[in-house]
Structure 1
């Protein structure tokens, strides 16, 4: 998983039913800490996609592409501290049995987008 995929998966986990009351307090706290750090890095309009994800959950189709753009523009996908938190969150959630549900993805007009675990992609754009 590259940086932005890792971030999107961790944010989706925190906003989805993957982190529920049955999930350990450690995972819930890690999700909240992670979300707070990302929130502070995304300023102004950059927070809109994160607000949409939190309000409508992962079933909403409008947040994915926008969030990827916002995270990349703010450089969050290159912040080693935040990436480490995302890795730790996903590992803790996997150990606890929580899983993010991404839902429907609308990527009209997108090029070279890859979602999912253990995926490989080779692109040639002309």
Structure 2
């Protein structure tokens, strides 16, 4: 991964499996609620990351970046955890159905006028 993403100007990073709820929410995911696909840790404000996009999105949280630093290109290989929503038996007798997989996520922070337009 490092060689491939590095050739395209991305900095390879290690993404944590646990992310603070405020970062999950800030990236547009709903960490709690019936339709959430994100696992939360009981009695803590932590969630299992559903994608490396979440910790990469939080990497520069609460920082003001100088536009001369942009674009920032980051990539991470991470474990990803997602709940199976609506599956029979998921709410009874303590049954948990987890989708866990590993993937590489590339993430760019850029000025709006330098990003690709939405389709």
| TM-score, with length taken from structure 2 | 0.28
From the two aligned structures, give the one with the greater strand fraction: 2
RCO greater where, 1 or 2, for CA within 8 Å and sep 6 or more?
Answer: 1
Q: Which has the higher Rg, Structure 1 or Structure 2?
A: 2
From the two aligned structures, give the one with the greater helix fraction: 1
